[in-house]
Amino acid sequence: MRSAFVLALALLAPSAFAATPDMASLKVPPGFHIAVWTDQVPNAREMALGAKNTVFVGSNDAGKVYAVSYAPDGSVEKVRTLATGLKLPVGVAFHGGDLYVSAVSRIYVLRDIENHLDAPPKPEVITDKLHTETAHGWKFIAFGPDGKLYVPVGAPCNICDRGDEGFAQMLRMNPDGSGVETVARGIRNSVGFDWRPTDKTLWFTDNGRDMLGDDVPNDELNHVTKAGEHFGYPYCHQGDTLDPEFGKGKDCKDYTPPVLKLGPHVAALGLRFYNGKQFPAAWHGALIVAEHGSWNRSAKSGYRVMTVRLNGNKVVSYEPLVEGFLKDEEVSGRPADVQPLPDGSLLVSDDDNGAIYRVTYKK
Protein backbone atom coordinates (compact mmCIF):
# COMPACT_ATOMS: atom_id res chain seq x y z
CA MET A 1 0.00 0.00 0.00
CA ARG A 2 1.40 3.37 -1.00
CA SER A 3 1.75 6.12 1.53
CA ALA A 4 -0.70 9.00 1.57
CA PHE A 5 2.16 11.21 0.40
CA VAL A 6 2.81 9.14 -2.72
CA LEU A 7 -0.92 8.98 -3.50
CA ALA A 8 -1.22 12.73 -3.19
CA LEU A 9 1.89 13.21 -5.34
CA ALA A 10 0.41 11.03 -8.08
CA LEU A 11 -2.64 13.28 -8.18
CA LEU A 12 -0.72 16.53 -7.98
CA ALA A 13 1.76 15.99 -10.82
CA PRO A 14 0.11 17.03 -14.08
CA SER A 15 3.39 17.64 -15.92
CA ALA A 16 4.22 13.95 -15.59
CA PHE A 17 1.25 13.05 -17.78
CA ALA A 18 0.13 15.50 -20.38
CA ALA A 19 1.28 17.39 -23.41
CA THR A 20 -1.07 19.95 -24.93
CA PRO A 21 -3.67 18.05 -26.98
CA ASP A 22 -3.95 18.30 -30.71
CA MET A 23 -7.58 19.37 -30.90
CA ALA A 24 -7.96 17.57 -34.22
CA SER A 25 -7.22 14.30 -32.41
CA LEU A 26 -10.16 14.69 -30.04
CA LYS A 27 -13.20 12.67 -31.06
CA VAL A 28 -16.83 13.68 -30.51
CA PRO A 29 -20.05 12.22 -31.98
CA PRO A 30 -21.31 13.46 -35.38
CA GLY A 31 -22.61 17.02 -35.25
CA PHE A 32 -20.59 17.86 -32.12
CA HIS A 33 -17.57 20.15 -32.04
CA ILE A 34 -14.93 20.81 -29.39
CA ALA A 35 -12.62 23.80 -29.12
CA VAL A 36 -10.41 25.50 -26.55
CA TRP A 37 -12.56 27.97 -24.60
CA THR A 38 -9.64 29.34 -22.55
CA ASP A 39 -6.13 28.15 -21.74
CA GLN A 40 -5.58 30.71 -18.97
CA VAL A 41 -6.75 28.69 -15.95
CA PRO A 42 -3.78 26.73 -14.54
CA ASN A 43 -4.72 23.42 -12.88
CA ALA A 44 -8.44 23.98 -13.59
CA ARG A 45 -10.72 21.66 -11.62
CA GLU A 46 -14.32 22.27 -10.51
CA MET A 47 -16.43 24.87 -12.31
CA ALA A 48 -19.52 26.73 -11.10
CA LEU A 49 -21.90 29.05 -12.92
CA GLY A 50 -22.53 32.56 -11.67
CA ALA A 51 -25.63 34.60 -12.42
CA LYS A 52 -23.99 37.20 -14.69
CA ASN A 53 -22.09 35.32 -17.42
CA THR A 54 -19.31 34.16 -15.13
CA VAL A 55 -17.77 30.71 -14.70
CA PHE A 56 -15.83 30.25 -11.46
CA VAL A 57 -12.97 27.75 -11.47
CA GLY A 58 -11.11 26.09 -8.61
CA SER A 59 -7.58 24.73 -8.96
CA ASN A 60 -5.72 21.78 -7.50
CA ASP A 61 -2.22 23.00 -6.76
CA ALA A 62 -1.93 26.62 -7.83
CA GLY A 63 -3.69 27.88 -4.69
CA LYS A 64 -5.83 30.13 -6.88
CA VAL A 65 -9.47 30.62 -7.77
CA TYR A 66 -10.43 32.07 -11.14
CA ALA A 67 -13.38 33.85 -12.74
CA VAL A 68 -13.97 33.54 -16.49
CA SER A 69 -16.30 36.21 -17.89
CA TYR A 70 -18.00 35.32 -21.17
CA ALA A 71 -20.13 37.10 -23.77
CA PRO A 72 -23.74 36.20 -24.64
CA ASP A 73 -22.46 34.15 -27.58
CA GLY A 74 -20.37 32.06 -25.16
CA SER A 75 -16.96 33.45 -26.11
CA VAL A 76 -14.49 34.31 -23.34
CA GLU A 77 -14.03 37.99 -22.58
CA LYS A 78 -11.69 38.01 -19.57
CA VAL A 79 -10.06 35.70 -17.02
CA ARG A 80 -9.41 37.04 -13.53
CA THR A 81 -7.74 35.67 -10.41
CA LEU A 82 -10.05 36.05 -7.41
CA ALA A 83 -7.96 34.51 -4.64
CA THR A 84 -4.41 33.23 -4.12
CA GLY A 85 -2.53 31.26 -1.49
CA LEU A 86 -5.39 28.93 -0.59
CA LYS A 87 -4.76 25.27 0.20
CA LEU A 88 -5.94 23.12 -2.73
CA PRO A 89 -8.99 25.26 -3.54
CA VAL A 90 -10.48 22.67 -5.87
CA GLY A 91 -14.16 23.20 -5.09
CA VAL A 92 -16.29 26.22 -6.00
CA ALA A 93 -20.02 26.77 -5.50
CA PHE A 94 -22.12 29.85 -6.28
CA HIS A 95 -25.08 30.60 -4.02
CA GLY A 96 -27.09 33.75 -3.40
CA GLY A 97 -24.54 35.95 -5.14
CA ASP A 98 -21.66 34.57 -3.04
CA LEU A 99 -18.83 32.26 -4.08
CA TYR A 100 -17.96 29.38 -1.74
CA VAL A 101 -14.50 27.78 -2.00
CA SER A 102 -13.19 24.58 -0.43
CA ALA A 103 -9.64 24.52 0.96
CA VAL A 104 -9.12 21.11 2.63
CA SER A 105 -10.02 21.87 6.28
CA ARG A 106 -11.79 25.13 5.51
CA ILE A 107 -14.68 26.51 3.50
CA TYR A 108 -14.39 30.16 2.48
CA VAL A 109 -16.92 32.58 1.02
CA LEU A 110 -16.35 35.62 -1.19
CA ARG A 111 -19.42 37.86 -0.81
CA ASP A 112 -21.31 39.50 -3.67
CA ILE A 113 -18.56 38.29 -5.95
CA GLU A 114 -19.89 39.17 -9.41
CA ASN A 115 -20.14 42.83 -8.47
CA HIS A 116 -16.50 42.82 -7.33
CA LEU A 117 -14.61 40.75 -9.91
CA ASP A 118 -11.96 43.43 -10.42
CA ALA A 119 -11.49 44.01 -6.68
CA PRO A 120 -12.45 40.71 -5.02
CA PRO A 121 -13.35 40.73 -1.33
CA LYS A 122 -11.18 38.93 1.17
CA PRO A 123 -12.29 35.32 1.64
CA GLU A 124 -14.25 34.80 4.85
CA VAL A 125 -14.03 31.49 6.73
CA ILE A 126 -17.42 29.86 7.30
CA THR A 127 -15.92 26.71 8.82
CA ASP A 128 -12.43 25.55 9.73
CA LYS A 129 -13.49 22.32 11.40
CA LEU A 130 -12.94 19.86 8.53
CA HIS A 131 -10.07 17.38 8.56
CA THR A 132 -6.61 18.65 7.62
CA GLU A 133 -5.34 15.58 5.72
CA THR A 134 -4.54 16.40 2.10
CA ALA A 135 -4.72 12.84 0.76
CA HIS A 136 -8.25 12.86 -0.70
CA GLY A 137 -8.67 16.08 1.25
CA TRP A 138 -9.52 18.40 -1.62
CA LYS A 139 -13.23 18.83 -2.04
CA PHE A 140 -15.74 19.23 -4.85
CA ILE A 141 -18.61 21.21 -3.31
CA ALA A 142 -22.12 22.18 -4.41
CA PHE A 143 -25.41 23.52 -3.08
CA GLY A 144 -28.32 21.12 -3.19
CA PRO A 145 -32.01 21.79 -3.89
CA ASP A 146 -32.45 22.06 -0.10
CA GLY A 147 -30.23 25.15 -0.02
CA LYS A 148 -27.51 23.35 1.93
CA LEU A 149 -23.82 23.08 1.02
CA TYR A 150 -22.69 19.51 0.35
CA VAL A 151 -19.09 18.67 1.24
CA PRO A 152 -17.42 15.26 0.80
CA VAL A 153 -14.72 14.12 3.24
CA GLY A 154 -12.53 11.51 1.54
CA ALA A 155 -10.65 8.67 3.20
CA PRO A 156 -7.13 9.88 4.17
CA CYS A 157 -5.51 6.81 2.65
CA ASN A 158 -5.74 4.23 -0.10
CA ILE A 159 -7.51 1.76 2.18
CA CYS A 160 -8.28 2.22 5.90
CA ASP A 161 -11.23 2.09 8.27
CA ARG A 162 -11.65 5.58 9.72
CA GLY A 163 -15.33 6.23 9.17
CA ASP A 164 -15.84 6.60 12.91
CA GLU A 165 -13.51 9.61 12.77
CA GLY A 166 -15.66 11.35 10.20
CA PHE A 167 -13.84 10.29 7.05
CA ALA A 168 -15.29 8.60 3.92
CA GLN A 169 -18.55 10.54 4.17
CA MET A 170 -20.72 13.09 2.42
CA LEU A 171 -21.71 16.00 4.66
CA ARG A 172 -24.10 18.89 4.27
CA MET A 173 -24.30 22.15 6.17
CA ASN A 174 -26.09 25.48 6.22
CA PRO A 175 -24.53 28.30 4.19
CA ASP A 176 -23.03 29.74 7.38
CA GLY A 177 -21.30 26.44 8.23
CA SER A 178 -23.72 25.43 10.96
CA GLY A 179 -25.97 22.38 11.18
CA VAL A 180 -23.51 19.81 9.82
CA GLU A 181 -25.14 16.46 8.99
CA THR A 182 -23.97 13.20 7.43
CA VAL A 183 -25.78 12.42 4.18
CA ALA A 184 -24.00 9.19 3.20
CA ARG A 185 -21.13 6.97 4.38
CA GLY A 186 -18.72 4.45 2.93
CA ILE A 187 -17.49 6.82 0.20
CA ARG A 188 -13.76 6.60 -0.47
CA ASN A 189 -13.30 9.75 -2.54
CA SER A 190 -16.09 11.56 -4.36
CA VAL A 191 -14.95 14.45 -6.54
CA GLY A 192 -18.23 14.99 -8.35
CA PHE A 193 -21.95 14.99 -7.66
CA ASP A 194 -25.21 16.50 -8.87
CA TRP A 195 -28.96 16.33 -8.28
CA ARG A 196 -31.36 14.96 -10.88
CA PRO A 197 -33.81 17.77 -11.66
CA THR A 198 -36.83 15.50 -11.93
CA ASP A 199 -36.72 14.05 -8.41
CA LYS A 200 -33.96 16.10 -6.68
CA THR A 201 -32.00 12.96 -5.73
CA LEU A 202 -28.23 13.00 -5.35
CA TRP A 203 -25.89 11.10 -7.72
CA PHE A 204 -22.12 10.96 -7.25
CA THR A 205 -18.90 9.42 -8.54
CA ASP A 206 -16.57 7.54 -6.21
CA ASN A 207 -12.97 6.55 -6.88
CA GLY A 208 -12.19 2.92 -6.02
CA ARG A 209 -9.14 1.82 -4.05
CA ASP A 210 -5.76 1.11 -5.64
CA MET A 211 -3.32 -1.82 -5.46
CA LEU A 212 -5.72 -4.68 -6.19
CA GLY A 213 -4.58 -5.09 -9.79
CA ASP A 214 -5.44 -3.63 -13.16
CA ASP A 215 -9.10 -4.54 -13.27
CA VAL A 216 -10.39 -4.32 -9.69
CA PRO A 217 -12.12 -2.35 -8.41
CA ASN A 218 -14.19 -0.22 -10.74
CA ASP A 219 -14.92 3.39 -9.97
CA GLU A 220 -18.59 3.87 -9.15
CA LEU A 221 -21.63 5.92 -10.07
CA ASN A 222 -23.85 5.99 -7.00
CA HIS A 223 -27.35 7.19 -6.18
CA VAL A 224 -28.43 8.30 -2.70
CA THR A 225 -31.98 7.15 -1.92
CA LYS A 226 -32.05 7.60 1.86
CA ALA A 227 -30.11 9.65 4.39
CA GLY A 228 -27.14 7.92 5.97
CA GLU A 229 -26.90 4.92 3.65
CA HIS A 230 -23.54 3.16 3.37
CA PHE A 231 -21.85 2.58 0.01
CA GLY A 232 -19.36 -0.05 1.16
CA TYR A 233 -15.90 1.46 1.59
CA PRO A 234 -13.60 0.09 3.00
CA TYR A 235 -15.36 -3.27 3.35
CA CYS A 236 -16.89 -3.85 -0.07
CA HIS A 237 -15.80 -2.43 -3.44
CA GLN A 238 -17.89 -1.98 -6.62
CA GLY A 239 -20.85 -3.61 -4.87
CA ASP A 240 -19.60 -7.18 -5.15
CA THR A 241 -15.94 -7.44 -4.06
CA LEU A 242 -14.94 -7.74 -0.42
CA ASP A 243 -11.71 -6.05 0.54
CA PRO A 244 -8.98 -8.63 1.28
CA GLU A 245 -8.22 -6.96 4.61
CA PHE A 246 -11.23 -4.97 5.78
CA GLY A 247 -13.87 -7.18 4.21
CA LYS A 248 -13.34 -10.11 6.56
CA GLY A 249 -16.63 -11.02 8.23
CA LYS A 250 -18.57 -8.56 6.04
CA ASP A 251 -21.19 -9.10 3.34
CA CYS A 252 -21.53 -6.88 0.25
CA LYS A 253 -25.30 -7.29 0.48
CA ASP A 254 -25.25 -5.05 3.55
CA TYR A 255 -24.15 -2.03 1.51
CA THR A 256 -25.63 0.00 -1.34
CA PRO A 257 -24.18 -1.15 -4.69
CA PRO A 258 -23.31 1.29 -7.48
CA VAL A 259 -25.81 2.10 -10.18
CA LEU A 260 -22.98 1.65 -12.67
CA LYS A 261 -19.41 0.34 -12.64
CA LEU A 262 -17.54 3.05 -14.50
CA GLY A 263 -14.35 1.09 -15.21
CA PRO A 264 -11.24 0.22 -13.20
CA HIS A 265 -9.12 3.15 -12.05
CA VAL A 266 -10.64 5.61 -14.56
CA ALA A 267 -10.69 8.33 -11.83
CA ALA A 268 -14.23 9.53 -12.47
CA LEU A 269 -14.49 13.09 -11.14
CA GLY A 270 -16.97 15.85 -11.99
CA LEU A 271 -20.43 15.06 -13.31
CA ARG A 272 -23.54 17.04 -14.23
CA PHE A 273 -27.01 16.25 -15.47
CA TYR A 274 -27.47 17.73 -18.93
CA ASN A 275 -30.70 19.71 -19.23
CA GLY A 276 -29.81 22.05 -22.06
CA LYS A 277 -31.55 22.24 -25.41
CA GLN A 278 -28.55 22.47 -27.74
CA PHE A 279 -27.57 18.79 -27.75
CA PRO A 280 -29.84 16.19 -29.39
CA ALA A 281 -32.72 14.69 -27.41
CA ALA A 282 -30.68 11.57 -26.57
CA TRP A 283 -28.55 13.72 -24.23
CA HIS A 284 -31.42 15.41 -22.40
CA GLY A 285 -31.50 14.23 -18.80
CA ALA A 286 -28.29 12.25 -19.20
CA LEU A 287 -25.34 12.39 -16.84
CA ILE A 288 -22.08 13.69 -18.28
CA VAL A 289 -19.00 12.38 -16.42
CA ALA A 290 -15.37 13.53 -16.59
CA GLU A 291 -12.84 10.70 -16.27
CA HIS A 292 -9.49 12.08 -15.17
CA GLY A 293 -7.61 8.88 -16.04
CA SER A 294 -5.72 6.11 -14.30
CA TRP A 295 -2.30 6.07 -12.70
CA ASN A 296 -2.50 2.68 -10.94
CA ARG A 297 -2.87 0.52 -14.06
CA SER A 298 -0.38 -1.05 -16.48
CA ALA A 299 -2.57 -0.03 -19.46
CA LYS A 300 -4.07 3.41 -18.94
CA SER A 301 -7.84 3.86 -18.71
CA GLY A 302 -10.16 6.86 -18.59
CA TYR A 303 -8.97 10.22 -19.96
CA ARG A 304 -12.35 10.94 -21.58
CA VAL A 305 -15.80 12.42 -21.05
CA MET A 306 -18.68 9.94 -20.88
CA THR A 307 -22.46 10.03 -21.25
CA VAL A 308 -24.63 7.94 -18.91
CA ARG A 309 -28.23 7.63 -20.07
CA LEU A 310 -30.88 6.60 -17.55
CA ASN A 311 -34.37 5.16 -17.62
CA GLY A 312 -35.60 5.89 -14.13
CA ASN A 313 -32.81 4.62 -11.87
CA LYS A 314 -31.52 2.11 -14.44
CA VAL A 315 -28.59 2.75 -16.77
CA VAL A 316 -29.50 2.43 -20.44
CA SER A 317 -26.11 3.21 -21.97
CA TYR A 318 -22.61 4.39 -21.12
CA GLU A 319 -20.90 5.95 -24.13
CA PRO A 320 -18.11 8.44 -24.92
CA LEU A 321 -18.81 12.09 -25.60
CA VAL A 322 -15.16 13.21 -25.86
CA GLU A 323 -12.23 10.86 -26.53
CA GLY A 324 -8.68 11.31 -27.78
CA PHE A 325 -6.81 12.52 -24.71
CA LEU A 326 -5.26 9.02 -24.58
CA LYS A 327 -3.60 7.53 -27.64
CA ASP A 328 -1.07 4.67 -27.72
CA GLU A 329 -0.56 5.08 -23.96
CA GLU A 330 0.36 8.75 -24.44
CA VAL A 331 -1.75 11.26 -22.51
CA SER A 332 -2.49 14.78 -23.77
CA GLY A 333 -5.14 15.90 -21.29
CA ARG A 334 -7.05 14.95 -18.14
CA PRO A 335 -10.72 15.96 -17.90
CA ALA A 336 -11.61 17.05 -14.36
CA ASP A 337 -15.11 18.53 -14.48
CA VAL A 338 -17.99 19.30 -16.82
CA GLN A 339 -20.38 22.25 -16.69
CA PRO A 340 -23.24 23.08 -19.07
CA LEU A 341 -23.61 26.73 -20.04
CA PRO A 342 -27.05 28.38 -20.30
CA ASP A 343 -26.93 28.12 -24.10
CA GLY A 344 -26.71 24.32 -23.85
CA SER A 345 -23.04 23.99 -24.73
CA LEU A 346 -20.78 22.07 -22.33
CA LEU A 347 -17.51 23.09 -20.70
CA VAL A 348 -14.82 20.53 -19.85
CA SER A 349 -11.95 21.49 -17.53
CA ASP A 350 -8.49 19.96 -18.00
CA ASP A 351 -6.13 20.49 -15.06
CA ASP A 352 -3.06 19.17 -16.89
CA ASN A 353 -3.23 21.78 -19.61
CA GLY A 354 -4.74 24.61 -17.58
CA ALA A 355 -7.52 24.72 -20.12
CA ILE A 356 -11.29 24.61 -20.47
CA TYR A 357 -12.84 23.24 -23.66
CA ARG A 358 -16.30 23.99 -25.00
CA VAL A 359 -18.41 21.29 -26.65
CA THR A 360 -21.12 22.54 -29.00
CA TYR A 361 -23.62 20.89 -31.32
CA LYS A 362 -24.89 22.04 -34.68
CA LYS A 363 -26.79 19.95 -37.21
Per-residue model confidence as pLDDT tens digits over 323-348:
999 999 999 999 999 999 999 999 99
pLDDT at 305: 98
Q: Where are the beta strands (DSSP E) in 277-313?
A: 287-291, 304-311
d(CA 187, CA 206) in angstroms, rounded, equals 7
Instruction: Give the residue-averaged pLDDT of 174-197.
Output: 98
pLDDT at 341: 98
Instruction: Give the residue-averaged pLDDT of 108-129.
Output: 98
Instruction: Give the residue-averaged pLDDT of 31-37.
Output: 98
66 neighbors 90 (Cβ within 8 angstroms): no
**CATH 2.120.10.30 given to domain 4-14+23-361:** yes
Q: Is the pLDDT of residue 219 over 50?
A: yes
Q: Is the pLDDT of residue 8 over 70?
A: no
Q: Is the pLDDT of residue 5 over 80?
A: no
Q: Is 98 exposed, middle or buried (0-12, 13-18, 19+ CB in 10 A)?
A: middle
Pairing of strands 202-206, 314-322: unpaired
> What's the pTM value of the predicted model, to 2 decimals?
0.94
Q: Is the pLDDT of residue 186 over 70?
A: yes
Instruction: Give the residue-averaged pLDDT of 289-300.
Output: 95
The 10s digit of each residue's pLDDT in 63-85 is 999 999 999 999 999 999 999 99
133 neighbors 156 (Cβ within 8 angstroms): yes
Task: For residue 327, give the H/E element and its range.
Answer: strand 326-327
Q: How far is CA 339 from CA 210, 217, 347, in A?
A: 28, 27, 5
Instruction: Domain ranges for the chain, please list them.
Output: 4-14+23-361
Q: What is the dihedral of CA 192, 198, 201, 207, to 10 degrees?
A: -30
